[in-house]
């Protein structure tokens, strides 16, 4: 495939081509080279204890089913009466099991801290893990939603949530949240074809691509993370970029925080500027913030905490708990929000059309909250009665949340942060460079802007040479073809043309040191070619 053709692919489709090149190389050099894929952010660790609790709870669920109806291959629906006591006995019988210990703490936390009735809570979890009923409520099971809400308050709101309730829709990962959200914003006339939205770039590619699809045809304005310090990009929004949000034609601002691909948290002073801007000058601005990497930042606070009326929160469990295969995510919207207000203020013709759209769901469709419309739209309204994330998935989501809530010393969180920090340091050793500590650097990914580095370290002549010579994609192609290493281009995320993204999630530390050496050699060869040309 020609370089010009590869350049048209999204970074994730490009990755598949690079893997093919890298495997071809390493197969021919099997004795001396190792295939290293740092192209995708699938972590190579998993949270074991909440999974142990899940599978043990499943055994309890089967036991409960057989109490109701016990014949070969058949059981019944678990009964609620005194089920908490039976679970306590079951847990005691497995007291040495880490999953049993967590279940005991989790149920106690739900009762003591969240005010749950023990039997109702245990029955919801047990019936849900068996998966014998449709999700009810379809947006999210009652106790699971309250549990996830409390978890998000801890990790997304720095344990200081705004007053009121965050309504949550349990979804199949943050990617499902994106798709459902854009569809519903259009179905409900909050966004219309031709409208303008702002994108905080560089940005996770689907957010860049979705607005331009035929169904949406949105115009986009980039709010770029372009701040520099000592020749390196610090990946923060500058004041002149934030001023683009003052344009009343900009209907929404979509961002990932901490960022992807750069993997930096938004600076507190920048967040304050956005809060002040929206509060004083753009109270009509809708914000969509994807905060999946927030758990890797000490004291992280989402815009959804500071601007609850304006903000739709997207969160995924995939990265932190190592569960990309589970497809667990949440879409959150505060009960008091500008989208519901805007629905009520739509022209009568639009309101009538929406009354007709949702008439089969309720006798008062005009009062249906936006987040519940998202649920209905996820099943084209007609199949709303079968909407909702599968109940076993909701149980695992709740158990992941409870695992974090009962971990009072945050041991798991600290260890996850240590892992990616160790790998980042190994990458720097391979590159033979040092970077100052930055509390805003998450390090789940590393995004290196080679043009900015060359301009600062070697000079403007070299930077100009780089920009005028081979296509930026040649860096990642060279790594794949000549070293068996897979990285992604930063340009595929609407980042700097000569930037590359390294995922620090899915390989061992010594592998990142090798990647650093490979990347350094690629750059050194480019420098040598430039010197030979001069």
Task: Point out the least confidently predicted range of 28-42, 286-300, 348-362, 395-409.
Answer: 28-42
Q: What is the pLDDT of residue 2?
A: 46
Residues 83 and 190 in one domain: no
Asked if pLDDT for residue 489 goes beyond 90, the answer is: no
Asked if pLDDT for residue 64 goes beyond 80, the answer is: yes
Q: Is the pTM of this model over 0.75?
A: yes
Residues 371 and 487 in one domain: no
Q: Tell whether 42 is covered by a domain.
A: no
Query: Under a CB-based contact definition with an 8 Å cutoff, are residues 286 and 252 in contact?
Result: yes
Residues 401 and 455 in one domain: no
Mean pLDDT for 22-41 is 70
Residues 349 and 254 in one domain: yes
Residues 517 and 458 in one domain: yes
Measure the CA–CA gap between 244 and 264, rounded to whole angstroms: 21
**Which residues, in sequence order, are CB contacts of 106 under 8 Å at separation 6+?**
53, 399, 402, 403, 406
Mean pLDDT for 330-342 is 98
Q: Tell whether 253 is covered by a domain.
A: yes
**Which residues, in sequence order, are CB contacts of 306 under 8 Å at separation 6+?**
162, 271, 275
Asked if pLDDT for residue 32 goes beyond 50, the answer is: no
Q: What is the pLDDT of residue 469?
A: 64
For 272, how many CA atoms within 13 A lie in the half-sphere containing its CB? Answer: 3
Please state the domain count of the chain.
3
The more confident residue out of 506 and 1 is: 506
Residues 127 and 146 in one domain: no
Residues 231 and 275 in one domain: yes
Task: Point out the least confidently predicted range of 38-47, 108-117, 463-472, 488-497.
Answer: 463-472
Q: What pLDDT band is residue 28 in, cutting at 50, 70 and 90?
A: low
Q: Provide the residue range defining the domain that includes 29.
A: 3-33+411-533
Q: Tell whether 109 is covered by a domain.
A: yes
Residues 252 and 393 in one domain: yes
Q: What pLDDT band is residue 397 in, cutting at 50, 70 and 90?
A: very high
Q: What is the CATH number of the domain that holds 107?
A: 1.10.20.110
Q: What is the pLDDT of residue 448?
A: 84
Q: Tell whether 41 is covered by a domain.
A: no
Give the residue from 358, 383, 405 where a domain finishes.
Answer: 405
Q: What is the CATH number of the domain that holds 368?
A: 3.40.640.10
Q: What is the pLDDT of residue 22?
A: 75
Measure the CA–CA gap between 142 and 119, rounded to whole angstroms: 14
Q: Tell whether 73 is covered by a domain.
A: yes
Give the residue from 375, 405, 435 where a domain finishes.
Answer: 405
pLDDT digit string (tens) for 168-208?
999 999 999 999 999 999 999 999 999 999 999 999 888 99
Asked if pLDDT for residue 349 goes beyond 80, the answer is: yes
Asked if pLDDT for residue 99 goes beyond 80, the answer is: yes
Mean pLDDT for 35-48 is 91
Q: What pLDDT band is residue 31 in, cutting at 50, 70 and 90?
A: very low
* CA distances from residue 347 to 8, 188, 350, 374 in whole angstroms, order as listed: 41, 12, 5, 20
Residues 361 and 433 in one domain: no
Pick the closest to residue 326 from 413, 259, 395 (CA basis).
395
Give the residue from 341, 375, 405 where a domain finishes.
Answer: 405
Q: Tell whether 38 is covered by a domain.
A: no
The label of the residue with tokens 């073809």 reads 481
Q: What is the CATH number of the domain that holds 520?
A: 3.90.1150.10
Residues 325 and 225 in one domain: yes
Residues 320 and 245 in one domain: yes
Q: What is the pLDDT of residue 482?
A: 86
Question: Cα torsion for 233, 235, 236, 239, to the nearest 10°?
Answer: 50
Residues 426 and 523 in one domain: yes
């Amino acid at each position: 495939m020609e370089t010009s053709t590869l350049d048209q692919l999204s970074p994730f489709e490009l990755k598949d081509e690079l893997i093919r090149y890298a495997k071809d190389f390493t197969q021919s050099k099997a004795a001396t080279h190792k295939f290293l894929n740092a192209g995708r952010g699938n972590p190579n660790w998993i949270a074991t204890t909440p999974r142990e609790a899940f599978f043990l709870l499943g055994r309890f669920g089967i036991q409960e089913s057989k109490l109701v109806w016990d014949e070969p291959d058949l059981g019944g629906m678990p009964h609620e009466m005194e089920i908490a006591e039976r679970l306590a006995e079951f847990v005691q019988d497995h007291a040495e099991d880490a999953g049993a210990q967590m279940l005991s703490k989790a149920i106690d936390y739900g009762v003591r801290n969240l005010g749950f009735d023990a039997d109702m809570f245990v029955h919801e979890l047990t019936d849900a893990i068996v998966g014998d009923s449709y999700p009810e409520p379809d947006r999210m099971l009652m106790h699971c939603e309250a549990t996830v809400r409390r978890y998000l308050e801890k990790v997304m709101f720095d344990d200081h949530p705004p007053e009121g309730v965050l309504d949550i829709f349990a979804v199949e990962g943050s990617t499902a949240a994106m798709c459902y959200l854009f569809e519903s914003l259009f179905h409900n006339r909050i966004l219309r074809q031709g409208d303008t939205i702002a994108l905080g770039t560089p940005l996770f590619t689907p957010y860049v691509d979705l607005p331009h699809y035929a169904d949406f045809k949105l115009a986009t304005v980039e709010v770029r993370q372009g701040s520099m310090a000592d020749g390196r990009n610090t990946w923060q929004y500058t004041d002149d970029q934030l001023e683009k949000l003052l344009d009343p034609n900009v209907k929404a601002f979509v961002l990932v925080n901490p960022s992807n691909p750069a993997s930096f948290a938004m600076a507190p002073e920048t967040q304050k500027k956005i809060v002040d801007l929206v509060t004083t000058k753009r109270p009509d601005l809708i914000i969509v913030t994807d905060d999946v990497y927030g758990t890797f930042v000490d004291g992280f606070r989402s815009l959804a905490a500071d601007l609850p009326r304006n903000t739709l929160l997207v969160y995924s469990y995939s990265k932190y708990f190592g569960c990309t295969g589970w497809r667990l995510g949440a879409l959150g919207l505060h009960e008091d929000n500008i989208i519901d207000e805007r629905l009520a203020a739509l022209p009568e013709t639009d309101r009538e059309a929406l009354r007709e759209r949702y008439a089969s769901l309720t006798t008062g469709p005009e009062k249906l909250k936006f987040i519940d419309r998202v649920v209905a739209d996820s099943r084209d309204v007609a199949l709303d009665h079968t909407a909702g994330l599968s109940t076993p998935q909701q149980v695992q989501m709740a158990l992941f949340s409870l695992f974090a809530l009962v971990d009072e010393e945050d041991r798991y969180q600290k260890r996850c942060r240590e892992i990616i920090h160790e790998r980042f340091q190994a990458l720097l050793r391979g590159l033979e460079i040092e970077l100052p500590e930055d509390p805003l650097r998450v390090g789940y990914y590393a995004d290196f802007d080679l043009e900015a580095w060359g301009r600062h370290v070697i000079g403007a002549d070299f930077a100009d040479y780089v920009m005028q010579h081979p296509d930026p994609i040649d860096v990642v192609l060279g790594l794949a073809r000549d070293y068996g290493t897979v990285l992604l281009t930063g340009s595929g995320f609407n980042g700097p043309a000569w930037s590359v993204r390294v995922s620090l999630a899915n390989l061992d530390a010594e592998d990142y040191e090798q990647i650093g050496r490979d990347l350094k050699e690629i750059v050194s060869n480019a420098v040598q070619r430039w010197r030979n040309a001069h």
